[in-house]
Chain A
Amino acid sequence: MAPLLQVENLRIELTTRDGVAPVIDDLSFTLNAGETLSFVGESGCGKSMTALALMGLLPEKIGRVASGKISFDNEDLTQASPARLREIRGNDISMIFQEPMTSLNPVFTIGEQIAEVLRAHQGLSRAAAWAKAVELLDAVRIPNPKGRASDYPFQMSGGQRQRAMIAMALACEPKILIADEPTTALDVTVQAQIFDLLSDLRRQTGAAIILITHDMGAVAEMAERMIVMYAGRKAEFGPVDQIINHPRHPYTKGLISCVPHIVSDMTEERPDLVEVPGIVPSLKDFGQDRCLFASRCTYVTDKCRASRPEERLFSDGQIADCWHAEDL
């Protein structure tokens, strides 16, 4: 079966004061129907940019797709007209944003905002769209959906707002749902509810989910495959369980071990956390012909500083972009 979405050698450039920087540098991946794919990395690594590129929402005049292809259902989205992209957005690909408070319109009720999507994309009448909006609120388990549909965003709790966002994103039954850090602003118990909801909805509608996050725990729980991004490049790609058990890229390794996890065999002793020293390089250092992680890496050798690592392929499609991947 052909993949639902295929991204090939995508390069996205941002124009900054220091010149043109490749925020996404030669990224390729595929997404199959009904699958959850996760993007992981620190802030400033290009996770959200990838999502915006898929939606055709790159910042105007600043960002552009420099080369590469995004094929969705055999259609290249990088060549699509703005009108066509408008059709695709919401209908076929939709997105849940990080901050439900700032991404909902404060002066319209939740019901109106969901109904607007339906009227714009599916040409429903006002009444029909409202009825569907209530139905959707029910589907995302908001209690008393009829009454809550006429609530404004400020009258809802953080978890409910995020549910309303999900309802809006699912209104036209998209084939791909992009969730950009959907739970970072929420409490853990609410996060668990949202994850549960997303998994259920995926099962019911068969939509593929792209989950953008920095939480390895969330990835392990939700996704089948993951892409670790670093400084605009793919660091590692492959099945989630396999990568967590045996990361082949030092950055992946660092990301997993630098977070204190709740483990099953807890002991009195608490060793120091493994640090990944330093921070993500700034945009002007992106795109150089060397390993961009080298300055923070403990396995670094001269080769890493001299040239960009090539892809190394391991079993089950695990790919790591590191000169020392075999030794890890």
Chain B
Amino acid sequence: MSKTLLDVDGLTVRFEVKRGGGWGKKSYLYAVDDISFEVKQGETLSIVGESGSGKTTAALAVARLVSAHSGTVMLDDDNVLEKQGEDLRQTRQKVQFIFQDPYSSLNPRKRADSIVREPLDNLSEKSEDEKTSIVAELFEAVGLRPEQMKLFPHQFSGGQRQRIGIARALATQPELIICDEPVSALDVAVQAQILNLLRKLQRDYNLTYLFISHDLGVVQHMSDAIAVMYMGKIVEHADRINLFTSPRHPYTQALLSAVPTVDRTQRAKQKRILIPGDPPDPINLPKGCRFANRCPIAEARCSQTEPELKQFDQGHKVACHLV
């Protein structure tokens, strides 16, 4: 059993909002509300959920790109959230980010090699020669040709740009890479190239991924464990096989049944569970379970008390009264 690299406990991120407070009282939107999960060295944990569920905010908080309200993020038994100044800079080397949109996440006025080199310049104390050789290595590792180093981002295709983004994330030899929807902006055929590359790099460098996606097919292919988020809460957390073959939370079941599939036996087997309506207003959250108003099996107690994330067999955790 490999060791736990990232251990997130009780992480909460809130944003101040203008409306709803009144009389000078502040009102907050809890984008991420008391979530806990861990990721083992060399494995991939995916966070899935619909837009607005807080998955990206959670990842940003882990990388210290938004500030957390409370909770701990332990990376190698070191609380990331308490780091300041030089310490924080050192920690940033260990956590790197691959962004969603390869068009807006690369500086259009820099050449490819200096984009990849930037994290080394800012975060490490390596010599110039060392940096140059690292950049050259990275270009090869992500499948770009050396003569492309001096080109500008607009001269690359979407897939190639995402490769530059990946090379940049690898530059400081991080322990944890957060991939925020790395393929959702790419064409399907290019998607496969990038996903294969990510998995190859994981094998070669023993990388740990925190993978954010809304595409359940991609998640199924990439992850060892999956956490499903709804309205800032983790509603189900299980390993890959368990989650996809026996989902327990009604939201996960609905989510899985909504994915269109080419597999005819799967389609015959899965009965589409429609969840009507829209998620509740994140500022005035309902009292009980946040999914209760759309849940097909909700009971009276669901709208009264909030279910806790309970542990079941084989590490399968579900937050539902009725499981």
Contact = CB atoms under 8 A, between A and B. Distances in A.
Q: Do the two shown chains form a genuine complex with each other? A: yes
Interface of A: 42-43, 143, 157-160, 187-193, 195-196, 214-222, 241, 244, 254-256, 258-264, 266, 268, 270, 272-277, 279-280
Contacts of B258: 188-189, 191-192
B254 A189 contact: yes
Contacts of A254: 189
Given A193-B274, A259-B192, A188 B214 contact: yes
B157 interface: yes
B218 A260 contact: yes
A42 B261 contact: no
A262 B187 CA distance: 19
Contact of A220 (B195, B260, B274, B275): B260
B191 interface: yes
Contacts, number: 126
A99 to B, nearest CB: 14
Interface SS, B side? helix
Nearest to B266: A264
Contacts of A256: 262
Nearest to B200: A272
Contacts of A259: 188, 191-192, 217
B263 A275 contact: no
Interface string B248-266: 0000001111111111111
Nearest to B50: A187
Nearest to A191: B258
B260 A195 contact: yes
B196 A272 contact: yes
Contact of A258 (B191, B255, B272): B191
Contact of B241 (A42, A258, A261, A268): A268
A276 B264 contact: no
Contact of A276 (B192, B217, B261): B192
Given A244-B262, A266-B245, A189 B217 contact: no
A187 B51 contact: yes
B252 to A, nearest CB: 11
Contact of B217 (A159, A160, A261, A264): A261
Given A214-B188, A263-B263, A273-B195, A189 B220 contact: no
Nearest to A221: B260
A279 B157 contact: yes
A241 B245 CA distance: 25
A260 B220 contact: yes
16 contacts: A143-B277, A215-B188, A215-B260, A220-B264, A222-B260, A241-B264, A244-B262, A258-B189, A258-B191, A259-B191, A260-B217, A262-B244, A262-B263, A264-B266, A273-B196, A279-B187
B157 A273 contact: no
A312 B243 CA distance: 43
Interface in B179-221: 187-193, 195-196, 199-200, 214, 216-218, 220-221
Interface string B82-123: 000000000000000000000000000000000000000000
A68 to B, nearest CB: 27
A215 B215 CA distance: 11
Contacts of A258: 188-189, 191-192
B54 interface: no
B274 A196 contact: yes
Nearest to A264: B266
B192 A220 contact: no
By Cβ-Cβ distance, the 5 closest A-B pairs, closest first, are: A260-B221, A217-B260, A192-B258, A258-B192, A276-B189
A270 B264 CA distance: 20
A262 B266 contact: yes
Given A158-B51, A188-B214, A219-B262, 5 more contacts: A188-B50, A216-B262, A220-B262, A221-B260, A263-B266
B159 interface: yes
Contacts of B274: 192-193, 196
A239 to B, nearest CB: 13
A264 B269 CA distance: 8
Contacts of A261: 217, 261-263
A38 to B, nearest CB: 12
B262 to A, nearest CB: 5
A62 to B, nearest CB: 22
A304 to B, nearest CB: 18
A196 B272 contact: yes
Given A274-B192, A275-B193, A266 B272 contact: no
A14 B257 CA distance: 42
Contacts of B220: 260, 262, 266
B16 interface: no
Contacts of A276: 189, 192
Contacts of B195: 260, 273
Contacts of A244: 262
B278 interface: yes
B267 interface: yes
Contacts of B276: 193
A262 B256 contact: yes
Interface in B252-304: 254-267, 269, 272, 274-278
A275 B187 contact: no
A255 B188 contact: yes
A244 to B, nearest CB: 5
Nearest to A255: B188
Given A259-B217, A261-B261, A266-B244, A42 B188 contact: yes
B260 A218 contact: yes
A188 B51 CA distance: 10
A221 B266 CA distance: 12
Contacts of B269: 264
A262 B261 contact: yes
B261 to A, nearest CB: 5
Contact of A159 (B196, B200, B254, B278): B278
A280 B274 CA distance: 37
Contact of A264 (B187, B193, B241, B263): B263
